[in-house]
Structure 1
Amino acid sequence: MKFVRKFQAELPVYYEKAITDYLRKIGELIKEMVASGINFLENVLIVITVPAEYLEKDKAIMRKCAYNAELIKERYSKNLQFTTEPEAAAVYCMENNLKVTDLNTPETTFMIVDCGGGTVDLTTRKLLKDKQLGEVTERAGDFCGNNSDFTNYEMDIEDVVPVVMQYVTEEVQEKMEENDWVIEFGYDDIKSMFDSVVGRIIKMIHMQLDNNRETCSAMLLVGGLSQSKYLQERIKQEFQHRVKNISVPLQPIAAISRGAALYGLSMINSAPNFENSHKFVINERVLKYTYGISHVWKKGDPIERRRSNGRIHKFLSLAQRGTVVEINQEFTSMIFPISSTQSAVDFLIYFTAKYSAQYIDEDGMEKLESLLISLPDVHYGRRPILFGLTFGRMEITASAKNQLNGQNYQTTLKFDI
């Protein structure tokens, strides 16, 4: 999504329109196949998987496109839910491989190695009670490329890249004509192309295992690249002394889509109307960012950073990156208005990939949303406000409660896209 936005000017269509049109066609197919005779907008739960690195704004764009594609009745309908690709893969493996190996018991820790078309994602999970999952360490990811099983391969230049023929030297041309412009790549040639990729994957796994606080009982390989026998053998050889069980699901490419379906079914079974579901497959996550709000200069802060109005906009951290949070867990802080006569407060919410930060203008700091609240009863002076951030399944809710009169404000971080 970020790549698409960056190169928007070079695309022949607007990216939101392309996504919307794609979702609309998918929706038409779904309605034709599975929604016959039922009210689709009222009775169908849609689960969309997104990459783990998606920001809240990226998910908001997907939600907007799904609404425009007429997959949901209201833009913020509960009938559309998100889960990340690593989480979906973990759900699939939990319901399949872990059962087969008798490892589907609480406290079992396992790693998902998702080797996809261009990236590799590593996530370590722990089985909790009632088939719930917790995240043990932060996700690790990298761009590593893709390949299939290694075999000898012949490339016919005339068919594949005929334009190259005009650039070869006369000597090379004679040799190529003798071979009918066919180049043969042997096993070792192809293997050498991917040795560095496999090496990087192995290095990432070592680092993830080193960061684990508990022993990893199983490692499950999913994604297209995981079908490579060479990669499987290298990983098993490298980690057989550290992980008891290393395996590949029967359909590793379908692990994410099938896991998303299982995730949706778990929500339906726990709360048929999706509204009050408290029993989720994914019960704990590790925060990928540090979240907080802007607050002003206090005595002892550097004077040189003061603005013309005498204030310094600092960063008050509420939830730190790397923290393990449960679904719907709230992080709060008591805030007081700057002035006793202040009749409103605008909470500016920021996030950063850093573990700690002091100022909102630091590199990597981004504004997420704002929450404007009214503060009547100015005669009470500096009224205390309990501000909180609640981390739901895939979205964040900001809230502010006036501790004197009980007024409560909240937003689900609706973005101005």
Structure 2
Amino acid sequence: MASTNDIRVVAAIDFGTTYSGFAYAHRKSPDEIFCQDFEGSFKTPTVLIYDESFKVTSWGFPALSDRTIRKSKSSSVELFKLHLGRNIEEKPFLPEGLDYKKAIIDYLHEICKLLKEKLNSYKFLEFFNQVIIILTVPAEFDNKALSIMRDCAFKAGLTNEKNSRNLKFITEPEAAAIHCMKFLSDNGITSGDSFMTVDCGGGTVDLTTRQLLFDNALGEVTERTGDFCGSSYVDQEFIKFLEKKVGKSAIDLLKKNYYRQLQCLIQEFCKNVKIPFTGCEKDFEFTEIDLGDYCPELKQYCKDDVFMEIEELELTFDDVRTMFDPIITKIVDLIKGQLHANNDKCSAIIMVGGFSESKYLQSRIKDEFLDFVQNISFPSNPITAVIKGAVQYGMKEHVITNRVLKWTYGTEIGRKWEADDPISRKLPNGMIKVFHPLAKKGSHLTSTDEVKTVFKPYSLFQTKVSFNMYHTSKLDAKYCDEDDVKLLDNDWEIEIPRLDDFDDQIISLALNFGNIEILATAENQKTGKEYKVKFNCG
């Protein structure tokens, strides 16, 4: 990694489920943040068009703008970021033979090319040594998802090595909270007060409750939370509505063979139905969508009388509200959970992200929470809050002073078998392997805190010690093969010199939680040899 003095530019990429963008700033002018313009918008659709050999032919707005190619069978993909999510019942559609990781790599590669073109104006720049890349991730991403994102960023050309320390991560709600600091005084927030940032995106809704500290830093008050209930799930409710009309099998065949047509239909729904919807019936205009125009191939998968009956698809006010309500209910429940975790203490709620521009969502949030939180605000250009906050974080990482751990972290160690241990776990040498917690879920840790522990090898003749790091949502896990105890991707080992005295063989392990990725350092205290590796603590 280049030294801090070598870094000239901080660039941030907001790789979103439905829309993505990037921004950058020169370290000499940190307040002058340049957001990339995509055809008059600060974000472009997270969509790719592939040819028959899965080579990218178009991406972003151009991939959706040509309405004359609806009959094309070209492979068109979207929502592929959702394949990284945990606990998603139905993964988004992908063409047969296409891995979601390839789609992520290909999309990031297009962003990377455009970013490098923009930075060419800085003639002195040598990209990999002089640019810090900040990549935003949802609060719900686990270690596996983060490891995949780091690998994809490397293969897309954003870094010159997989474990480059010039690539850093920040969660989307943290980035939004940093950007929203400038609005706090307008909402009567002063040092010591807490506020909640709710980032409503296309795929996820992410929340964090932060306390404003006296030196314009932010401390995390509660564990950040999130769920898959962004605006694209309103679109999925629309598809479910359509399935009830023509049958699920008909829509599945349309997805498989003419997915571009389905995309065009959803775009029409978003433009003329979802975005204008206010939740007020007097504002609603009766809506018809011509399925014969947007999805002409759907007819072949339906009975003639069924298609004729719904070719002009009618949407009533109640139909549309029913598409919104289950998604908004999840968002309301997430906010209630954050308030409850902070004993209902919150001076302001700040709504950001593209979905927060929905008038119906805004009115529902105000109706639910104005009696409990006096300040509920919706800043202008909420779609840029995350990307600008990520750049600001890259300029001043210490603005985040502490984090609340979402997981318990530990490793596997051996100890003597005891009478209350299961006999089935007793090893021939009288030992037992157990989960040894190093940092527990819910702990408040600052950027300088280190969690330290020491180990000894199993025997005098052992020449290497390896550490497998695990994480779990449990506070009381006993064994590493329990449900919900997951092995992290990284495993490593350090050498031990052959010694005569067993007491000399002591290994220290230190974990630093200054960033989303934990820095773990193991040291052989006899030789001083160290080994470092990163893990995700999101």
Which TM class, normalised by the smaller chain length?
0.7 to 0.9
Change over 3 Å in CA distance of 1:8–1:319 after alignment to 2: farther
1:275 match: none
Note if 1:80 corresponds to 2:167: yes
Q: TM-score, normalised by structure 1?
A: 0.84
Change over 3 Å in CA distance of 1:184–1:10 after alignment to 2: closer
Q: Provide the C-alpha distance between the structure 2 equivalents of 1:189 and 1:7, rounded to a whole number of angstroms.
A: 23
Checking the alignment, whether the CA contact within 8 Å between 1:348 and 1:367 is kept in structure 2 is yes
Equivalent residue in structure 2 for 1:285, among 403, 410, 413: 403
Matches within 5 A, 1:124-139: 124-139=209-224
Matches within 5 A, 1:360-399: 360-368=480-488, 369-382=490-503, 383-399=505-521
Change over 3 Å in CA distance of 1:199–1:312 after alignment to 2: same
Checking the alignment, whether the CA contact within 8 Å between 1:385 and 1:401 is kept in structure 2 is yes
* Range with bigger deviation, 217-226 or 57-66: 57-66
Q: Provide the C-alpha distance between the structure 2 equivalents of 1:67 and 1:411, rounded to a whole number of angstroms.
A: 20
Note if 1:295 corresponds to 2:295: no
Change over 3 Å in CA distance of 1:391–1:192 after alignment to 2: same
Equivalent residue in structure 2 for 1:3, among 74, 83, 101: 83
**How far does residue 116 in structure 1 lie from its aligned partner after superposition?**
1.9
**How far does residue 254 in structure 1 lie from its aligned partner after superposition?**
2.0
Equivalent residue in structure 1 for 2:138, among 51, 61, 68: 51
Residues 145-190 of structure 1 show CA distances to partners (whole Å, capped at 9, x for unaligned) of: 24534143321122134455564675994x76xxxx4333233331
Matches within 5 A, 1:5-84: 11-36=96-121, 37-39=123-125, 40-84=127-171
Change over 3 Å in CA distance of 1:296–1:132 after alignment to 2: same
Q: Provide the C-alpha distance between the structure 1 equivalents of 2:466 and 2:482, rounded to a whole number of angstroms.
A: 21
**How far does residue 248 in structure 1 lie from its aligned partner after superposition?**
0.7
Change over 3 Å in CA distance of 1:296–1:9 after alignment to 2: farther
* Range with bigger deviation, 160-169 or 184-193: 160-169
Which structure 1 segments of 5+ residues have no match? Answer: 268-279
Residues 297-346 of structure 1 show CA distances to partners (whole Å, capped at 9, x for unaligned) of: 42332222224554422100010111111124211122222224433322
**How far does residue 11 in structure 1 lie from its aligned partner after superposition?**
4.9
* SS class of match (1:313): strand
* SS class of match (2:208): strand
Which residue identity lines up with residue 84 of structure 1 in the other structure? T
* SS class of match (1:76): coil
**How far does residue 111 in structure 1 lie from its aligned partner after superposition?**
0.9
* SS class of match (1:399): strand
Which structure 2 segments of 5+ residues have no match? Answer: 1-80, 86-90, 235-273, 278-283
Checking the alignment, whether the CA contact within 8 Å between 2:212 and 2:218 is kept in structure 1 is yes
Change over 3 Å in CA distance of 1:307–1:7 after alignment to 2: farther
**How far does residue 347 in structure 1 lie from its aligned partner after superposition?**
2.1
Checking the alignment, whether the CA contact within 8 Å between 2:138 and 2:226 is kept in structure 1 is no
Checking the alignment, whether the CA contact within 8 Å between 1:8 and 1:14 is kept in structure 2 is no
Q: TM-score, normalised by structure 2?
A: 0.67
Change over 3 Å in CA distance of 1:2–1:297 after alignment to 2: farther
Matches within 5 A, 1:200-349: 200-213=330-343, 215-267=345-397, 280-298=398-416, 299-300=418-419, 301-307=421-427, 310-349=430-469
Q: CA RMSD in A?
A: 2.9
1:273 match: none
Q: Provide the C-alpha distance between the structure 2 equivalents of 1:170 and 1:55, rounded to a whole number of angstroms.
A: 48
Q: Provide the C-alpha distance between the structure 1 equivalents of 2:103 and 2:330, rounded to a whole number of angstroms.
A: 34
* Range with bigger deviation, 126-135 or 219-228: 126-135
Identity %: 43
* Range with bigger deviation, 35-44 or 69-78: 69-78
